[in-house]
A and B are shown apart, each in its own frame.
Chain A
Amino acid sequence: MSEPQSTTLDPVTFEVIRHRLWAINDDQARMAARLSGSFIVYEGYDFNAALVTADGRGLYCGVYIFHHGATIDEFVRKILAEWPADEIHEGDMFFTNDPWWGALHANDGILAMPIFWQGRLVAWSGIVMHDDDVGSPVPGSFVAGAHERFGEAPLFPAIRMVEGFEPIRDVERAYLRNSRTPELNALNMRARVAALRTTHQRIQEICAQYGVDTLLAAQEGIIAYVERVVRGRLRELPDGDWYAMHYHDHDGTTNAMYPICCRVIKEGERLVVDLTGTAPQSPGSINCARPAMEGAVMGVILTFLCYDLPWAIAGLRNVVTIVSEEGTWNNAVSPAAVSFGSTMGTISTHDVVAQAFAKMMLSSEKYREEAQANWTPGCNGSLLIAPNPTEEPSVGAVTDFFSGGGGARTFTDGVDSGGIFHSMASQIANAETVESRVPVLHVYRRELADSGGPGRFRGGVAVEFATVPHKMPIEPAGLNTIGSGISVPTGRGLSGGHPGAVSRNVIYRGSNIRELFAEGRVPLSSGELEAEAVDVLAAKSFTMIADGDVLVGVLQGGGGYGDPLRRDPERVAADVAQGLVSADVARSVYGVVVADGRLDEEATSAQRESIRRARLAEARAPEAATGGGTVEEGTVLHPVSDTVEAVEAGGARSLRCTVCHYRFGAYEDDHKRAAAMRELPLTTTSPQNDLTLGEFVLREYYCPGCATSLAVDVQRTDEAILDESRLSAPAPAAT
C-alpha cells in the first residue's frame, strides 16, 4: 500500500479513489466490448481503454491489448495541441483512426472524451476498438500488396465525432460511408459513446463525493507512486546493456525478411530502449508509426516492471527514453502502407523488446522470476469475408489469433495454449460462437505436440485447428491471412531454450472432408485428409475458399527457458504421455528416452551424455578469447542467465558457468562470445518447422567447459554473432 504525495489526501481516500479509477477504466473497456457487435472485440478482446489526466498524461492503461491503451495519452496530447481549449466542450468526443495520430491502424478507431466538472477539464478518457472493415480495396482492410497508405483505408485525424454525448450524424456518415460494414461500425461507435458517457458520470460522482481537488491530487499521487516504485526497481537491477534481434517474414508483397532490433540500456534509475538497426520502412503494409511502436515498448515495460502496479504510463515516460530512427519499419513516415501495422510492426516490436527486457530481468536474483521467454510471438489469423445476399458481408475471424503458447518462466513451463503476451485477458471464442457468426464448421481444435519451445522449462504448446466453410449463402468467400512467423520463428527462447515452433496456414483444396463426414468420421489431423491440391499460404495473403476446402492453421508456441538437457526427465516423460512432446523430440532435443510410456533412466543418461559430446565436437570455437579456466571461489554477485552468474573473487569480477564454474571472462564481457557455437536446422526443434526457409538456422551456444547450452539464436549462417548482454562495471563506491 502506498501513501499519497499530497498532504491533503488521507491514505484511505487515496486507496479508494485509486481503485475506483482502476475499476472505472476496466468497466468502460468491458462495457464497450459488451455493446460492440464486432466479433474480434467481444470475443478476442481486441480493444482497450485508458484514463488520461487533463493535460494528457497516461493515468490508467487497461489490461486488454496493451499497445492499444498505451497510445491513447498520445492521442489526447495531439488533440490538446490541435484544438483550442475553448473549442473543447463537455459532451464532445474526438475520433481518430490515423496511425500518426495514435491509432495502430485504420481499423482501430480511438474515441476520446474530455471529462468536465463544473466547467473545468479534470481528465480524459479514451476507448479503442477494432472495426471489422473501414474501407480499402480488400474486405477487412488489411491490404496485402499496398505500397503506400493511399492504397489502404481512409484515415481520419482528430475529428469531432460526438457532441452532447451523441454522434454528429453528418460526420459519422462520412466515416461509415467508406466501410463495407457500416451498421457494425455504427454499433461500435455507439458502444464507445455509451461507455465513455458512463465514465463521465462516474468521474463526476468522485468529484461530487470527494471534491475535484481530491481527484486531481489522487491522479498525481498515482503517477508519482508508479514512478517511485519503478525507479526503485531499476536501482535494484545491475547496470548494463541487453540485446535482441528478430526477423519478421513477409511484408505483404514479397516474402522479404525484416530485421528488428532492440538494445535495452539500464543505468541507475534510467532506461533507454534503443531500436537502432531495425530495417528501413517496407514497401508493403507491415509498417507501424511511432505511436504504435511506443505503445508496444511501454506495454513490455508495464508487463515486466508494473506487474503489481496501476498501469500509469505517465510514471514510465519520465523514466524511459525510446531511441528509434525515423523511416524504419516500426517508426514509418507517411505515406508508408500501415494496414498490417497493428499486428506486424507493433507486435514484432514488443516481441524483440520483451526478449531484451527478459535478459535484463534475469540478471537480478530478486526479479529473475519475472523474466519470461517470448510468449507466442508475431501474429497468425485469418478473416473470412463471406458475401451475404441481404445484409452486410459477414466478416469474421475464423482462426484463433490468440491460441499460441505462453513463454517459459524461470521456474516453470509456459502456459499451454496460454495466449498472447500483449493481453493476458484475451481469449479465443468458443467454436460455437465462431460458427454462429461466420459460415464455417470447426473440424477440430487441439493442443499440438512439439509446438512449444524446448527448454529446462518448456514453452507452452499452441493450438492447431481445422475449419471448413459451411452453408455459405454465396460461394466462395474471401480469406484474408494476417500472419508472421511462417517462414522463420519471430520469437526466441531464453538462456538456451529454443523458440516455439512456427505458425502455418494450409488449405487442403477440394478435400474429401464431406465424404468423411458422410461416413461418420471426424479427422483429427491433416494427414487424414485427401485433397486435390495443397496450398501453403504466405504469411500475408488473400485467397478464396469454398466448401470442401479445409483450412488447417496453428500459431507459434512459446519460447523455452534453459538448456533442454537440464529438464527433469520425469517432466519430459509426462509431456510425452500427454501428447505435448513427441518421443522423437524427447530423445533428440531433451535427450530423454521414453519406451512403452516409461522413462528409461539409463538410456536417458547415455543419450544426454552423447548429445553433450556431440555439441562440443561439432561446435565452432568461441569467437572471443576472454574465457578459460574456472572460478571456484568467490562471492556470487548476481545471476546473468540460467547457468551464468557474476562472481567476485580476489577483488576481480568475472562471469562463470554455474554448472562447471568455467570462466567466460570479465564482468563486462559478453558470455555468448566466449561460448562454443553450433548451427542446426530449425527442424531440430520441431517437425512443425519443416516449411521454414532453409537459409535460417538455429545457433546454439555452449559452455566450453560442460557443453551446457547458454543461448539459442535464429540467424542466417553467414551473419555475425549477435550480442547477448554486457554488464557495466559498477561506479567506484563514493568515499
Chain B
Amino acid sequence: MRFRIGVDIGGTFTDCVVADEEGSRTVSKALTTPGSLEDGVLDALAGNAEQRGLDRASLLDATDLFVHGTTQATNAILTRTGARTGLITTKGHEDAIIIGKVYAKVAGLPERDLVHSSRLQKPQPIVPRHLIRGVSERVDRYGDVIVELSEHEVVAAVDGLLAEGVEAIAVSLLWSFANEAHERRIKALLEERAPGVFSAFSHEVAPVLGEYERTATTAITAYVGPKVVAYLERLEQLLRDEGLARPLLVMQASGGLTTVGDAAQRPIVTLDSGPTGGILGCQHLGRLYGEDDVICTDVGGTSFDVGLILDGQVPLDSEPVVAQYTLKLPKVLVHSIGSGGGSIGWIDEGGLLRVGPQSAGARPGPACYGRGGTDATVTDADLVLGYLDPDSFLGGRMKLDRDLALAALARLGDGLGMEAEEVAVGVFRIINSQMADLIRKSTIEQGHDPRSCVLVAYGGAGPTHAVFYGHEIGAKAILVPRDSTVFSAEGMLTCDVTHTAETSRRTSTPFTDDDVRAIDDRFAELESRILEQFDREGAARDELSLARSVGMRFRRQVTTIDVQVAPGPFTGDAGERLLEAFVERYAQVHGQGALLPGGGIDVELYRVVGTRPIEPVAFPAHEDAGDDASAALKGERSAHFEEIGYTTIQVYDGDLLRAGNVVPGPAVIERMGDTVVVPPDYTAVVDPYLTLRLSFAEPVALAAAAQTEAGLV
C-alpha cells in the first residue's frame, strides 16, 4: 500500500490525513507544539500510523506525497512575534516603509471602516525606526548607477544592527529590480559579516516596481524567515531520517505546492498556507457537487477564516494586505478574525460581555481541558450547553472537565451578575454573530448573495457552530465534510505543484524584429528557470505543463491585463497576433467602447507558470443505505437551544452513519474529531460522500437531490 499525507499546523491542533491508493483515509490530530512544531507533526503522524497498524517509519517509507501547511508565518506577523529585524535601504528613503504611501492607515480595511477617519492608524511597525539604516547609493529608472554604493556605510549599518541584536536583516534598495548589483554586493558583505543572520533581498523576494510594497514584502520575509525556514528544514531532515524518500512539499499562499528548498528562498510564500489548503479543498468539493459558489468557513482554536469560490474559481489577491502592510505576492483571498474554540470571554470597560480575539490557544487551552486554564472560552461554553460530550472529545482521547468549565464561566458571570449557564449562552451567541459578520463582509459587502452559495464548514469547532452562523447568513445549504477537522490538510492533497517565473520588462509597439526575438528569448529563459527548478525536484519533463502569459496595457496605463501566449517559438507574425489577442481580450473585459484605436500598447510583464499535476485524492461515493439512522444512535443527553432552553437531544455516532441516513434535529452527531449540532428545525442528511448536509428543507427531497448529484440514481 502506498500513501499520501497532508499535514496542517493550526494554532491549536496539528492535523494529519493519510490517504491510501483506494482513497480510504485515516485522520489524526495532535496538539500543536509552539517552539518545536515538528514534535506536533511527528505526534500526529505516529497517531495516524498506529491506526493503520504501522509505525511512523514504515508509513513514511511507503509515502509518495507529503504535503505540509503551517500558519506559522501569519501568526508571527499578527502577534508581532517574528524575528527582531533590521532594514537596510537607500539613504533618503528610510521612511518609505513608515510612510506606507500614506495609504497604510486604511490598507486592508473594508470601505465601511475606511471612511471612519477618526479611528485610522498606521500599523505597529514590523521594523521600528531605529532599526532602519539608509546607505548612500542610488540607481535610476534605467538601472544606471547614479551614486556608488558606500560599502563602509553598509558595514557600519550591518555592525550597528548586529549590535542592536537583530536576528534578521532585510535589504531593499530603490530600483533593485532594474539593477541588482548593489543588493548583491550587500548580500556578499552580509555573508562575510553576519553569516548566521537570516537575510532577505528585494530583488529576490519581489523583483517588481514599487519600493513600498517591495520593501514591506522583503521586511516581512526577513521577519518570518528565521522561524519558518529553520522549522521547514528541520522537519524535512527529520522526515527524511525516518524514511521519507520524496521531497516535503509546502503549500503556497497562491494555491500551488512547492519544495522546501524553494520556500526557504521566499518563506513568505507559506503565508496562510493552512487556510489556502481548505479553500482549495472546497473548490474540489464544489466540482464534485456541481456547486460554483461556495463559502468556505474554517473554525480553528484561535481564528475563523472565510474564503470564497466564485464561478468555480478561487479568487486571488495580487496585492494582499497583511496586518496593514501591502505585499507583492499572489495569494488566495482569505478573510480572518480572531474567533475560535479557544477565544476567551471577557468583560469590557462598559461592563459588556465580549469574546476574543485573545485565545487560550493549546496551552493552557480552555478551562475544561484541565491544563491550568482558568479563562472561560468558547469551548467551555459549547461543553456547558451540552453540544460537546466530556467523554468523546477528540474521539474520547481527551477528557473534558465540565466542572472546570462551569467554574470558569461562573467566575466570568460574577462580573456580570449572571449564572454560568447564562454566560455560556451569551458567549455562544456572540461568537456565532461575529462569524456571521465576517461572512457578510466577504459576501454581501462584495455584492455576492450568500443565499446562492453553499457553505462548507470545517476545522475543529466549525461543525458545532456552522448551523448557527450559516442560518444567520441564509446559506442555501450547509455542508460538513466527513473529515472536517483535517479538511485543510486534505485539501492540500488536491493541489498541483506550481512554479512561477516572471520578469518585468517593457516592450512597446511598434514591435521590431529585435523585439520579437527578445520576447522569444525571454520566454525561453523563464521556461528554462522553471524546468531547472523541476529538474532539481526530480520531476519528469513529460508530466509538466508550461503556461505563458504576458501583462499588457495601453501605453501610460498602470494596470495590465493578462494575455495568454501560445507555446512554441515566438517568431514571424507572433507579435501581431499578440496585439490582436490583447485588443480582443481588452474589448471582452471592458467593452468595445473602451478601446483606444491606434493607441500605443506596451508589454510590461512576462510570466511562465509551470505545473506538475498531482492526481487529486479520490473521494469515493458510497451506496445508499436508506434513511434510517437508528443504527448510529448511541444515546440521549440534554442540550440548550435558544427559545426552548435545555431539551433532550439524540446523540449519534457519526462514524457509524451511512450514506442516505437522515438525522432530524434536535441532535448532535459525534465524530472522531468534531461534533455536529443539528438544532430542532434542522435535518442532517448523509450524502454519498459521507458529507453531512444540514438544511431546513424536507429531508427526503434533500436525500434524493444528493443521490442524483452523486450519479447514484
Contacts and interface: CB of A to CB of B under 8 A. Distances in A.
Interface stretch (A336-344, A430-438, A700-708): A430-438
Given A165-B593, A166-B592, A372-B118, A578 B129 contact: yes
Interface in B89-123: 90-96, 98-103, 105-106, 111-112, 114-118, 120-122
Given A34-B558, A187-B599, A445-B93, A20 B447 contact: yes
A183 B599 contact: yes
B102 A432 contact: no
A459 B451 CA distance: 46
Residue with the highest number of chain A CB atoms closer than 10 Å, among B94, B101, B129, B137: B101
B504 to A, nearest CB: 11
Interface string A691-713: 00000000000000000000000
A433 B141 CA distance: 9
Contacts of B591: 165, 193-194, 197-198
B95 A445 contact: yes
Contacts of A127: none
B115 A15 contact: no
Contact of B101 (A34, A38, A415, A430): A430
Contact of B148 (A36, A417, A520): A520
A635 B121 CA distance: 35
B663 interface: no
B138 A184 contact: no
A683 interface: no
B541 interface: no
Nearest to A434: B141
A425 B114 contact: yes
Interface stretch (A21-29, A250-258, A265-273, A616-624): A21-29
A476 interface: no
Contacts of A436: 141, 209
A495 to B, nearest CB: 15
Contacts of A302: 115
A37 B557 contact: yes
B606 interface: no
A318 to B, nearest CB: 21
Contacts of B117: 303, 307, 372, 375, 406, 421, 424
A12 B106 contact: no
A409 B140 contact: no
Interface in B127-181: 129, 134, 136-138, 140-142, 146-148, 150, 174-175
Interface in A140-181: 162, 164-167
Contacts of B147: 517, 520-522
Contacts of B116: 307-308
A66 to B, nearest CB: 9
Contacts of B111: 22, 26, 63
B508 to A, nearest CB: 11
A418 B90 CA distance: 22
Interface in A389-434: 400, 402-403, 406, 409, 412, 415-419, 421, 424-433
Interface in A206-227: 209
Contacts of A646: none
B536 interface: no
B265 to A, nearest CB: 23
Contacts of A209: 449
A193 B591 CA distance: 8
B364 to A, nearest CB: 34
A-side interface size class: 35 or more
Contact of A471 (B140, B555, B596, B600): B140
B593 A166 contact: yes
A570 interface: no
Contact of B447 (A23, A183, A432, A444): A23
Contacts of A517: 138, 146-147
Nearest to B153: A520
A186 B556 CA distance: 12
Contact of A307 (B118, B138, B445): B118
Contacts of A38: 556
B397 interface: no
Interface in A286-307: 302-303, 306-307
A706 B103 CA distance: 41
A89 interface: no
A415 B93 contact: no
A169 to B, nearest CB: 10
A190 B596 contact: yes
Contacts of A184: 556
A12 B140 contact: no
A190 B594 contact: yes
Contact of B593 (A190, A306, A406, A416): A190
Given A166-B592, A424-B105, A578-B129, A409 B92 contact: no
Nearest to A407: B117
A402 B102 contact: yes
A443 B93 CA distance: 8
Interface in B336-355: none
Given A162-B593, A432-B141, A432-B209, A425 B120 contact: no
B96 A431 contact: yes
Interface in A226-241: none
A58 B138 CA distance: 49
Nearest to A361: B118
A186 B554 CA distance: 11
B555 to A, nearest CB: 7
Nearest to A446: B95
Contacts of A444: 91-93
Contact of B210 (A34, A190, A197, A433): A433
A177 to B, nearest CB: 16
A575 B39 CA distance: 45
B697 interface: no
A187 B451 contact: no
Nearest to A12: B474
A416 B98 CA distance: 9
B99 A23 contact: no
B121 to A, nearest CB: 7
B557 A35 contact: yes
Given A166-B593, A308-B112, A445-B99, A431 B93 contact: yes
Contacts of B444: 15-16, 19-20
B595 interface: yes
A441 B593 contact: no
A311 B116 CA distance: 12
Contacts of A406: 105, 117, 120
Interface in B301-336: none
A427 B590 contact: no
Contacts of B558: 34, 36-37, 42-43, 433
B8 interface: no
A522 B138 contact: yes
A166 B555 CA distance: 20
A436 B111 CA distance: 30
Residue with the highest number of chain A CB atoms closer than 10 Å, among B142, B150, B447: B447
B99 A432 contact: no
A370 interface: yes
Interface of B: 90-96, 98-103, 105-106, 111-112, 114-118, 120-122, 129, 134, 136-138, 140-142, 146-148, 150, 174-175, 209-213, 440, 444-447, 449, 451, 474, 554-559, 590-596, 599-600
30 contacts: A16-B447, A23-B446, A23-B447, A42-B557, A183-B600, A187-B557, A190-B593, A194-B590, A371-B118, A402-B102, A417-B98, A417-B99, A417-B100, A421-B117, A424-B115, A424-B117, A425-B103, A425-B114, A428-B99, A430-B101, A433-B209, A435-B141, A441-B140, A444-B93, A445-B96, A446-B94, A447-B99, A463-B95, A522-B90, A579-B129
Given A435-B140, A445-B92, A524-B91, 15 more contacts: A20-B444, A35-B557, A183-B600, A190-B593, A190-B594, A193-B593, A197-B590, A197-B594, A370-B118, A417-B102, A427-B101, A427-B103, A431-B93, A436-B141, A520-B148
List the 4 shortest-distance A-B pairs measured between CB atoms, nearest first: A37-B556, A444-B92, A194-B594, A20-B447
